[in-house]
Amino acid sequence: MEIRDKKEGDVAILEPVGRIDTNTSGEFEDKIVEVMDRGETRFVVDLKEIDYISSAGLRVFLMAAKKLKSTGGSFVLCSMSDHIKEVFDISGFTPIFTITPDQASGAEAA
């Protein structure tokens, strides 16, 4: 799994590519923890290049959001395709997260 990592202002932006599933969720979680360990507290995860997410992937998002909320940080998801948004809707995760249409609005919301 490729995970691009960049910073715009004081917002860390992660851009995972491909699938977030049982095989890749550990790698994605490690990347989030690595960025948190650098002291980042404002996150945007751009999902435009994600074509599949499993319950293991959802768990990583939930863990990150809870951890950041407890430290006063923020965790925003953006650029979700319709079928990824449907996974969040069906699982009941949509109300838990701030979801924006694109990276720019995600950075503003973070």
- Per-residue pLDDT tens for 25-80? 999 999 999 999 999 999 999 999 999 999 999 999 999 999 999 999 999 999 99
What is the amino acid identity at position 44? V
- Determine the Cα–Cα distance for residues 21 and 40; give it in Å rounded to an integer: 24
Structure tokens at 29: 């979680």
Q: Under a CB-based contact definition with an 8 Å cutoff, are residues 66 and 57 in contact? A: no
The model's pTM is 0.96
Of 57, 46, 51, 49, which is closest to residue 23 (Cα–Cα)? 57
- Determine the Cα–Cα distance for residues 21 and 53; give it in Å rounded to an integer: 6
